Structure 1
Amino acid sequence: MCTPEIVRLAHDGAPRPSRRALLGLAGLTALAAVAPAPAVAAPRSGGVVDLTHTLTPELPVWPGNPPMVKVPVAWHASGGFGQFALGYWEHTGTHVDAPAHRIPGATTTDALAVDDLVASLVVIDISAKAAIDTDAMVTVADIDRWRSQHGDIPERAFVAMYSGWEDRIPRPSTFLNLDERGRPHAPGFSAEAAEYLVTHCGIVGVGVDTLSLDSGADPEFGAHTAILGAGHYGVEMLANLAAVPVTGATVVVGAPKHAGGTGGPCRVLALT
């Protein structure tokens, strides 16, 4: 986007178009009005659900990380355009974990395979046990139970955990749920379940509605290691998973693409 000074120079210094040019533009506009409209794809029969939290300075972040910062640097009254400078750590808000986040030398954000960012969405609901156990995990038994009820997990699916944890976001302290040592406690995937998804289900990635792929009960970060170590990606802090079907939807992950990144805020949509 142009700086205010460049915009001002463009407005003040640019030559006015000639009458001939204006007439030519009017002619092109008239032709466009009678030209046949381009073909438009048929609309989807379902809807679109936004699985992304709005990024604000108030959104909970991993303990020790600074909150997102938004600073105005350009104003409509001076140059005609508004603009903010944004500051945040990569793993802020609804965000991608690239394999490089856990594995040195592994795939970075700019090298994620685009085919993996559009996938069949599978939602595994553990909200009932998460309501009574803040360190609840998606287990292999949960995956097998899902398969017995809904059939096999599609090849190259994106598997998301729904724990209902986003209900705590209005009270950030309960979302972080820190113990006396400052360690967060929240649901996640067990290391065994993550490994099972990689080796038996052919997934492209996993997602959670908490701050970490791992349960707070796993200090070794086994789910991160299993998923990212296999070259797959994760998405943390998803929203609105209760609003999508447990199977049959398609997820679109608008991953960031900065060189060498370990992750970054993303826009995630479910097509139902």
Structure 2
Amino acid sequence: MKVIDLTHTIRPDMPVYPGTEPPQFLPANSYEKDGFKETKLCMFTHTGTHMDPPAHLYAGRTTLDQFTAEQFIGKALVIDCCGLKEGEPITMAQIMKYGEKSAQADFLLFYLGWDKRWGTDSYFGDYPCLDEQVMQYILAGNYKGIGFDVIGLDPIADENLTRHKQLFKEKEIVNIENLKNLELCGDDLFWFSCFPLKLENCDGSPIRAVAWWEK
């Protein structure tokens, strides 16, 4: 079995969304004093490679713990968008290159190549985002989730979170942000899992996103 980790490591000096705080790793128990090590972790639910459910934007909508585990596993397809320049939209031209495979996937993962900017100021730049036609294509489909190797579904400048609201208004779907290594996944369907922590009334959670192929 071939396995690729698509997840950034959570660490105190990692990039975080503007206006939030980096995670804190606080010593709780030590080998010397207690005979074992335990750490108190303090962080936002949308830290690092993470997932948004509809409840992230809408009160009373589905939280991550309300989804069945089946929601977080399935077939994925990487949509190569790395040729787009800053500020260029992701269009149907990128998706149509994959023919019927795009409709057969449970997850569409958009590869911009921005994970290579992780840890630099340019990661917070004008990354490409979905245009309206692609949004309508996703909303009309039967996808479990979409994902990106950038920090947001919306541009950072869009404080209204227009695309988030459109995606979650009536759709039972998850949105994944801050993926990495999507260029290693090829141009065909593969197995993908993205399990979140099962937190009560969860508006978001870090995930361990993994791609794998059965030989």
Deviations 1:100-124 (A, max 9, x none): 0112211001112321211111111
Partner of 1:141 in structure 2? 93
TM-superposed CA distance for 1:145, in Å, is 2.9
TM value normalised by structure 1:
0.73
Partner of 1:67 in structure 2? 22
TM-superposed CA distance for 1:269, in Å, is 0.6
Deviations 1:81-140 (A, max 9, x none): 1011111111110001011011221100111232121111111111111xxx32233222
Aligned equivalents of 1:144, 1:188: Cα separation in 2: 17
TM value normalised by structure 2:
0.91
- Partners of 2:101 and 2:189 within 8 A in 1: no
Partner of 2:167 in structure 1? 227
Aligned equivalents of 2:130, 2:88: Cα separation in 1: 8
Residue 183 of structure 2 aligns to a residue whose secondary structure is: helix
Q: Pick closer, same or farther for the CA change 1:59–1:187 going to 2, 3 Å.
A: farther
Aligned equivalents of 1:94, 1:125: Cα separation in 2: 19
Aligned equivalents of 1:75, 1:216: Cα separation in 2: 40
- Partners of 1:121 and 1:246 within 8 A in 2: no
Number of equivalent positions: 212
Give the RMSD, CA atoms, in angstroms.
1.8
Which residue, 195, 199, 205 being the options, matches 1:264? 205
TM-superposed CA distance for 1:219, in Å, is 5.6
1:206 and 2:158 equivalent?
A: no
Aligned equivalents of 2:17, 2:174: Cα separation in 1: 19
Aligned equivalents of 1:93, 1:191: Cα separation in 2: 26
Partner of 1:165 in structure 2? 114
Aligned equivalents of 1:70, 1:112: Cα separation in 2: 29
Partner of 2:46 in structure 1? 91
TM-superposed CA distance for 1:218, in Å, is 5.3
Residue 7 of structure 2 aligns to a residue whose secondary structure is: coil
TM-superposed CA distance for 1:206, in Å, is 0.2
Higher RCO (CA-CA < 8 Å; seq separation 6+): 2
Residue 198 of structure 1 aligns to a residue whose secondary structure is: helix
**Which one has the bigger helix percentage?**
1
- Partners of 2:105 and 2:189 within 8 A in 1: no
